[in-house]
Amino acid sequence: MDWTPYLAGLGIGILSWFTFLLSARPLGCSTAYARTSGMIERAIRGDSVLEKPYYRKFVPQIDWEWMLVLGIVIGAFITAIVRGEFALIWVPSTFEGAFGSSSLLRLAVALVGGVLMGLGARWAGGCTSGHGISGTLQLAIASWIAVVTFFVSGIIVAFLLYGVIAPW
């Protein structure tokens, strides 16, 4: 039996104690993207962007959660190097097995998926971390509904992609 997923879960669970204790926040990732998007838009279109109702709610600035997402990149990088798992890859092997080895196709699909993910995460008010771990561990009703919806929808679309579109 492989204990590493449980070890990782144990670590994330204990980490959440510290986010609540020291930062009075739950683990979450998706608002960091909304803030970054606002920062980019502000750089292009100027300060009027800050007047948008959504950016008045989530001010485009670097906060705790933004640094958390940056930290994830660093932590995963260090771990991948130490464990010899770091590899520059364009096309994941499962994707390649079903849809071929075109980097351009994978890039386009990832981009479309990313747009849906960014839209859906902000629409739902949280992601797999904010709702899926932090919300459910607090036993929040909306978060349990959110995470079940994420997975039911994700499973249906994955089966369509790999069961219907890929063979065809």
Hey, which residues between 105 and 164 contact other proteins (CB under 8 A)?
106-146, 148-162
Alpha-carbon span 160 to 166, nearest angstrom: 8
Q: Which residue has the tokens 């932090």?
A: 134
Hey, how many other C-beta atoms are within 10 angstroms of the C-beta on 136?
Answer: 14
User: Does 59 sit near other proteins (CB under 8 A)?
Assistant: no
Half-sphere exposure at residue 44, Cβ-oriented, CA atoms within 13 angstroms: 6
Q: Which is nearer to other proteins, 64 or 100 (CB)?
A: 64
Closest separation between CB of residue 66 and other proteins, Å? 7
User: Does 94 sit near other proteins (CB under 8 A)?
Assistant: yes
User: Does 67 sit near other proteins (CB under 8 A)?
Assistant: yes
Of positions 40, 59, 100, 101, contacts other proteins by CB under 8 A: 40
Closest separation between CB of residue 167 and other proteins, Å? 13
User: Does 99 sit near other proteins (CB under 8 A)?
Assistant: no
Closest separation between CB of residue 152 and other proteins, Å? 7
Closest separation between CB of residue 14 and other proteins, Å? 6
Q: What is the DSSP letter of 115?
A: H
Of positions 47, 59, 79, 102, contacts other proteins by CB under 8 A: 79
Of positions 43, 59, 80, 100, contacts other proteins by CB under 8 A: 80
Locate 69 and state its tokens.
Answer: 């997402």
Of positions 45, 46, 83, 84, contacts other proteins by CB under 8 A: 83
How far, in whole angstroms, is CA 24 from its chain's centroid?
Answer: 21
**Binding residues for other proteins, total number by CB under 8 A:** 127
Say if CB 54 and CB 34 are below 8 A apart. Answer: yes
Closest separation between CB of residue 135 and other proteins, Å? 6
Say if CB 105 and CB 99 are below 8 A apart. Answer: yes
Phi, psi (rounded to 5 degrees) for 24: 55, 40
Distance (Å) of CA 139 to CA 48, 55, 110, 147: 39, 28, 32, 12
